[in-house]
Amino acid sequence: MLLTPNAMGRRLRFGLYATTGLIALFLLLPIVFIVLLSFGSSQWLVFPPPGWTLKWYGQFFSNAEWMDAALASLKVAVLTTFCAVALGLPTAFALVRGRFPGREMLYGLFTLPMIVPLVIIAVAVYALFLKLGWTGTLFSFVVSHVIVALPFTIISIINSLKLFDQSIEDAAVICGASRLQAVFKVTFPAIRPGMIAGALFAFLVSWDEVVLSVMMASPNLQTLPVKMWTTLRQDLTPVIAVASTLLIGLSVLVMVIAAALRRRNEVSA
Amino acid sequence: MSAVIKDTAQARTLVSLRNLNKHYGDFAAVDNISLDIQDGEFLTFLGSSGSGKSTTLSMLAGFETPSSGEILVGGQSLVNVPPHKRDIGMVFQRYSLFPHLSVRDNIAFPLAIRKRSAAERDKQVDAMLKLVQLEKFAHRRPAQLSGGQQQRVAIARALVYEPRILLMDEPLGALDKKLREDLQDELRQLHRRLGITIVYVTHDQEEAMRLSQRIAIFSHGRIVGLGTGFDLYQNPPNAFVASFLGNSNFLRVQAHGNGAASFEGQPVAMRLTSGVGDGQEVLLMVRPEKALALSREQAVRGALPAGWNEVTAKVGEVLFLGESQTCSVVTAGGTQMTVKALSAAGMSMKPGDEVKVRWAVADACVYTEWQESDLSKAAGAH
Amino acid sequence: MKVAINALQSATGASGTGAQGAAMSLSPTLRQRWRGSRNLLPALLFLGLFFFAPLVGLLLRGVLEPVPGLGNYEQLFANSAYARVLFNTFSVAGLVTLISVLLGFPLAWAITLVPRGWGRWLLNIVLLSMWTSLLARTYSWLVLLQASGVINKALMAVGIIDAPLEMVHNLTGVVIGMSYIMIPFIVLPLQATMQAIDPMVLQAGSICGASPWTNFFKVFLPLCRSGLFSGALMVFVMSLGYYVTPALLGGAQNMMLPEFIVQQVQSFLNWGLASAAAALLIVITLVLFYFYLKLQPESPVGNAR
């Protein structure tokens, strides 16, 4: 009935499809709009633009501040990804395989940074680093990003580790592998989708992180979102549209990679 | 056979399907079905999956719209009536109870929709709970019930508003064998008591035989056999029904005039059948339990009675099945046959023995038209 | 090979039950009790140092600065300007939740209805919007909603309004931008719930006599309830703590709690008050999150068990 399109009744179905189409347009509107604006020639973001140009892209790529920010973003995101996976992997193993009391509670503890409002984490970590004099360092960026990226990697790895039948690892051991060899040669390849998903999440979280970064930033070290943030508060120059478009492009790329990985898993499964 | 037709013709027709079709693109899920369902009868649609039986039921319920054709109930067309206005009861394969409602509220749901008064509602729900023996479980959620209990709730929900027609789509398929047989008996008694018209869909022929007054056998979107279980089994209208229902031995014979034929060179007699030409190949069907296998000595001792046929074959295998025994044999021409007998009667042959297989001429059905695929057991599905 | 695996499994199985038996009869040694927990240490240490310690430190400042006591909390509730901040926070979060539920419901429904083909595209659009940079989307709304923006121009061209509406740097802008951002967080859990509903149950409703309208309210909606509640609660919690969108699309007069906290820290260096506000926000968040967790297991969509 209401879940089988053919039996739904034409009027209801048409109404639902039309509503959905409008909402989908609403979802797409700002994304498409910003990409178009980045190619528009109007300094004042007039739409539709009087002409098309690549000059904002030129400005973006020739501006040292924007380029430094992009590079810093990349550096922070890559480091964050590594640290989050390195910390998340043993944690996920312990939470899935361990047989100790309070695992549920510990799981909740590790996902807490996802629940506590970012602003509060930012302020708390900022206070600590202010006291230690570490604000504005690469270290402070990476540490603060790892805090919020960690739950994502832990959850992704746990999800794929739960699906992995541990007796396969035992089989490798009976074939003569040491436990560590078995984990590296059998278990890790099997849970690779979860590890990659966790890494992608960590990368995106760090890449897009604003609140923590704004707190950690100093004039000589800022990530792309920080640069966008500070620029935005002054004016709405189309160069921000360029930065936005590049960020959107990266998100699409990561989504495509994730989808491709998922498809490959479905085929091999 | 003719007596049965006369009987049903006297009853009142409640539902008529007229040239009903359902196409999905080029595929005909239901192919030009015409059928009259009598008021108060228990009719079963029997067929393998994909034979069109469930699609036909869905069209009756209103979940599928026919591509063409008519569905009449009491002479009025139902085709453009939405399901909720058809006043038909239905029991689904996986029960499909409302998981958010208690047993009581599930059964009361149709009455609440119909805005019956609370007092009347309570009275009817109580009666239904009693009928399906679930009074003690009235306040449970469906998830807290066993499969059999859930099915009883589903039946109660379908009956509580006293629909004229009850549709049942493989309602017992998910239950284990013992429970299924118990519920089959309950269902039969329920039908007798309420006198409601039931259209039942199943792929289980034993279930169909146990429950129904008439069976419609579906294959490739058509009804290929319609009648009582007894008639369909004893006198299958065609080779497909013969092989679909129970087990069967098929013998290809060469007709010589009417009533006489030869099987692998040996003369055999057959029923008088209209439309059999001289020299035409026809098919004889003998049920395994209607055939006898005799060792050479037994055959010598008991001469062939009049009106019986006899062919020579070699024993391949003898199987003991508890209540009965089967003996598979091969004739000189390579025709496989199976003979079945009650264990009490005893079967003394061993593999490799030569036996005489006998059957009464009257017990062998004669088919002049058939397709090779009809003869294999798995042919019903697509 | 297969035999070897089976042998190993039964061997470990046997030893496993043996160990369990021993653990039950004797009191377990500490090592047995905490088997496999050593791997937790790196992450625990990290979070302890950089998450829990600063958090506790921050919360302590609320009762220690500028003078020990509950003065900051008194101030927070007594001052009408601060009360206004709380009111803004809750009303915006409530409104955002309502709007994103209203817009997310049809989306989730359509995706469930047509899981292949363009339903798949709808899901992709939802995911794209979720994973697209928050700043990029907020910037886009800023440009779209401004007085000389496309939306105002379009509305004026059609003749609905004569003068541009003020849709940015006030709560209207915040609500629009945040509802937009929260839609995916409604769609995904709701869609999962809808997908788990047996479509036959709705057919059953209809054959029992329910019109599509009745079926929707009496069967479909109750069955969606768990997904709807958990999605809405999640969105409400997230909205309470959101900073970026309100800071960019909102105005200076009508602040929300997260902006207030940052402002106290960055502009006024009033850590005590900021900490009190943060404690309030954390408590609300955790309480609501507790309800969210309570909602999870009791899913009425447990038909096919």
**Where are the domains positioned within chain B?**
2-240, 248-380
Identify whether A193 is preceded by a cis peptide bond (ω within 30 of 0): no
How many structural domains compose chain A?
A: 2
Q: Are residue A46 and residue A77 in the same domain, yes or no? A: no
pLDDT in tens, C82-102: 888 999 999 999 999 999 999
Topology, domain B248-380: OB fold (Dihydrolipoamide Acetyltransferase, E2P) (2.40.50)
CA distances from A168 to A101, A163, A264, A266, C15 (A): 26, 12, 21, 20, 18
Structure tokens at B201: 């869909």
**Residue C21: predicted pLDDT:** 36
Instruction: Name residues of chain B where pLDDT drops below 50.
Output: 1-9, 379-382
Q: Report whether A147 contacts A125 (CB < 8 A).
A: yes
- Cα dihedral C164, C166, C167, C168, rounded to 10, equals 120
Residues A25, A88, single domain; the answer is: no
Residues A41 and A169 in one domain: no
C243 has pLDDT over 80: yes
At residue C171, does pLDDT exceed 50?
A: yes
Whether C4 has a pLDDT exceeding 60, the answer reads no
- Report angle CA C115, C119, C124 to the nearest 5 degrees: 110
Can you give the residue range of the structural domain that contains C108?
A: 92-263
Instruction: Give strand pairing partners of B338.
Output: B328
DSSP track, B43-92: EEEE--TTSSHHHHHHHHHTSS--SEEEEEETTEE-TTS-GGGS-EEEEB
Q: Specify whether the CB–CB gap between C277 and A111 falls below 8 A.
A: no
**What is the reported pLDDT for B1?**
41
Structure tokens at A186: 């059998």
- B99 in reach of chain A (CB within 8 A): no
pLDDT value at position B11? 67
Prediction ipTM score: 0.87
Residue A124 and residue A10 in one domain: no
Asked if B361 contacts B271 with a C-beta cutoff of 8 angstroms, the reply is yes
For chain A, give the percent of residues with pLDDT over 90: 44
Chain C segment 93-132 residues within 8 A of A by beta carbon are: 103, 106-107, 109-110, 112-114, 122, 124-129, 131-132
Asked whether residue C282 is domain-assigned, the answer is: no
Shared-domain flag, residues A68 and A197: yes
DSSP three-state, residue B195: coil
pLDDT at A193: 84
Residue A229 in contact with partner chain C when CB distance is under 8 A:
yes
Assess contact for B48 and B380: CB atoms under 8 A. yes
pLDDT of the residue at C298: 44
Tokens, residue B49: 């999956």
- In this prediction, residue C33 has a pLDDT band, given cuts at 50, 70 and 90, of low
Are A160 and A259 part of one and the same domain? yes
Give the CATH number, domain containing residue C110. Answer: 1.10.3720.10
Cβ within 8 Å of residue A155, ≥6 positions away: A111, A198
- Average pLDDT of chain A to the nearest whole number: 88
Written as one letter, the residue type at C124 is N
**In this structure, is residue A58 part of a structural domain?**
no
pLDDT on residue B46: 95
Nearest by CB to B110, from C209, C215, C219: name it: C209
Q: Is C9 inside any structural domain? A: no
Chain A: list its partners (3+ Cβ pairs within 8 Å). Answer: B, C
**One domain, residues A113 and A216:** yes
Note whether residue A59 is domain-resident. Answer: no
Cβ of residue A97 closer than 8 Å to a chain C Cβ: yes
In our burial notation (b when 16+ CB lie closer than 10 A, e otherwise), range A64-101 reads eebebbbebbbebbbbbbebbbebbbbbbbbbbebeee
- Asked if A42 and A77 sit in the same domain, the reply is no
Q: Name residue, tokens 């790329």.
A: A253
In order of A85, A176, B219, C93, the CA distances from A155 in angstroms are 11, 31, 51, 27
With CB atoms and an 8 Å threshold, state whether C211 touches B84. yes
Of B236, B245, B282, which is closest to residue B260 (Cα–Cα)? B282
8-state DSSP, B176:
-
Q: What pLDDT score does C204 carry? A: 92
Distance, in Å, from the CA atom of B344 to the CA atom of A83, rounded to the nearest integer, reads 79
Tell me whether residue A8 is in a domain: yes
What is the CATH architecture of B2-240? 3-Layer(aba) Sandwich (3.40)
Q: Chain A within 8 Å of B83 (Cβ-Cβ)?
A: yes
Judged by a CB distance cut-off of 8 A, whether residue B100 touches chain C is yes
| Tens digit of each residue's pLDDT (9 = 90 or more) over C53-82 | 999 999 999 888 888 888 888 888 888 888
> Do residues A70 and A189 share a domain?
yes
Look at B110 and C206 and tell me if their CB atoms are within 8 Å. Answer: no
DSSP structure string for B285-307: EE-GGG-EEEEHHHHHHSPPPTT
Exposure string of C287-299, with b = 16+ CB inside 10 Å and e = fewer, is ebbeebeebeeee
Strands (E) in chain B, as ranges, are 13-24, 27-38, 42-46, 68-73, 76-77, 88-91, 165-169, 197-202, 214-219, 222-227, 249-255, 260-263, 266-269, 281-286, 292-295, 308-320, 324-331, 336-342, 354-360, 365-367
Q: How confident is the model at residue C32 (pLDDT cuts 50, 70, 90)?
A: low
Helical segments of C242-270, H only: 244-249, 257-266
Rounded to an integer, what distance in angstroms lies between the CA atom of residue B273 and that of residue B285? Answer: 14
Residue C208 carries which DSSP code?
T
Which residues 214-273 of C are in CB contact (within 8 Å) with B?
Answer: 214-215, 218-219, 222-223, 225
Total H helices, total E strands in chain B: 10, 20
Q: Are A188 and A195 in contact (CB under 8 A)?
A: yes
H or E segment and range at residue A255: helix A238-268
Chain C residues with CB-CB distance to A11 below 8 A:
none
Count of structural domains within chain C: 1
C170-196 mean pLDDT: 92
Section C198-207 average pLDDT = 90
- The alpha carbon of A208 is separated from its chain's Cα centroid by a whole number of angstroms, namely 7
Residue A173: pLDDT above 50? Answer: yes
Cα(first)–Cα(last) distance of chain B, in Å?
A: 31
Which one, of A129, A82, A79, A135, lies nearest residue C53 by Cα? A129
Task: Give, in order, the Cα–Cα distances in Å from A122 to each of A70, A129, A231, C66, C241.
Answer: 21, 10, 21, 21, 12
Residue C166 in tokens = 């003020």
A170 CB neighbours in chain C (<8 A) are: 5, 8-9, 12
CA distance C78 to chain A (A): 22
A48: cis peptide before it, omega within 30°?
yes
Q: Verify that A246 and A225 share a domain, yes or no.
A: yes
The rounded mean pLDDT for chain C is: 83
With respect to residue A194, please indicate whether it lies within any of the assigned structural domains: yes
Res C64: pLDDT? 87
Q: Are residues A32 and A77 in the same domain?
A: no
Q: How far apart are CA B189 and CA B151, in angstroms?
A: 16
Structure pTM?
0.81
Domain for residue C179, yes or no?
A: yes
Burial class, C267, CB count within 10 angstroms (exposed 0-12 / middle 13-18 / buried 19+): exposed
**Are B113 and C304 within 8 A, CB to CB?**
no
- Whether the CB-CB separation of B288 and B247 falls below 8 Å is answered with yes
Q: Is the pLDDT of residue C295 over 90?
A: no
Provide φ and ψ at A154, rounded to 5°: -60, -45
Spatial CA neighbour of A200 closest among A139, A143, A251, A138 = A251
Comparing C-alpha atoms, which of B19, B17, B26, B16 is closest to residue B68?
B19
Distances (CA, A) of B74 to A143, A255, C120, C209: 77, 58, 45, 19
- Nearest CB partner across the interface for B142, out of C205, C225, C303: C303
Which CATH number does the domain housing residue A250 bear?
A: 1.10.3720.10
DSSP H helices, chain C, are 2-25, 30-33, 41-47, 53-64, 71-78, 80-113, 118-131, 134-145, 150-158, 171-196, 199-207, 212-215, 221-240, 244-249, 257-266, 271-295
Model confidence band, residue A267 (pLDDT cutoffs 50, 70, 90):
low
**In Å, how far is A134's CA from the nearest CA of chain C?**
13
Residue B345, pLDDT score: 76
Higher pLDDT, B149 or A100: B149
Note whether residue C40 is domain-resident.
no
Say if residue A112 is in the same domain as residue A182: yes
Q: Which amino acid is present at C35?
A: R
* C74 in any annotated domain: no
Percent of chain A with pLDDT over 70: 97
pLDDT digits (tens, 9 = 90+) for A207-259: 889 999 998 888 888 999 999 999 988 888 889 999 999 988 888 888 888 78
B265 CB within 8 Å of a chain C CB = no
Residue C19 has a pLDDT of 36
- Pick the closest to residue C107 from C239, C224, C226, C242 (CA basis): C224
**Is residue C201 within 8 Å of residue C220, measured between CB atoms?**
no
For range C156-164, the mean pLDDT? 86
- For A24-68, how does the pLDDT look when each residue is reduced to its tens digit (9 = 90+)? 999 999 999 999 989 988 887 877 888 888 999 999 999 999 999
Position C257 confidence tier, pLDDT thresholds 50, 70, 90: very high
Domain membership of residue C36 (yes or no) is no
* Residue numbers of the domain that contains A193: 64-268
